[in-house]
Every structure is written in C-alpha cells, then in structure tokens.
Amino acid sequence: MPKGYILSAHRSEANPVKKAAYNLLAKDALEKAGGKIIAMAKIDGKLTVYENGIKQSTVLIEFNSYDEAINAYHSSDYQKALLALDNGADRDIRIFEGV
C-alpha cells in the first residue's frame, strides 16, 4: 500500500508567537495519528526553490497511507493545533499519496 504524505510549504514568515503555540501541539498530534516528520527545511538552511517556489519553511510528514494522512489533518488534536495557529501563517498544505 502506498504511503500518504502531508506537505506544508509556507508562503511567508509565520507569526512567531502563534507558530510557537502551534508547534507545541502539532508535532505530538501528527505523531499520535501515525505521522513521522521526514524532512524539514528552514529558510536559513539548505533550501533551494525553482519556478514559482518561495524560500520559506517546508515540512514533509509521512503516514502509512493517504487515508491516515487525511485523518491526521482532521483529527481533533491537530485541529486544536490549528486553532492555536489562529491564521498566523500563510501555508500551502497538500495531502497526497505516494507511489
């Protein structure tokens, strides 16, 4: 069965206070739902963008399946993390199935 992934690509710098509140909850919520952070790029690290890319934080989280990734995003624990973020970040979130 193909893995599932959540890709979070920031479009601009997040509000640092809201991002900190989100980070306290999000990692545990996604891991509790079966997720594993497999890549995290910070704007001051090794991150090269092409075409319409924006040089901002990017995170890739792996799940055992696409459905597990979808369920993780909609889980009550992750929704609490989103409430803490409180629109403090402009992100492109994509959930997709691996090959």
Domains recognised in the chain with CATH numbers? 4-97 (3.30.70.100)
**Residue-wise pLDDT tens digits, 52-72:** 999 999 999 999 999 999 999
CA distance 25 to 90: 18
Closest CA to 62 of 33, 24, 83, 23: 33
Higher pLDDT, 37 or 45: 37
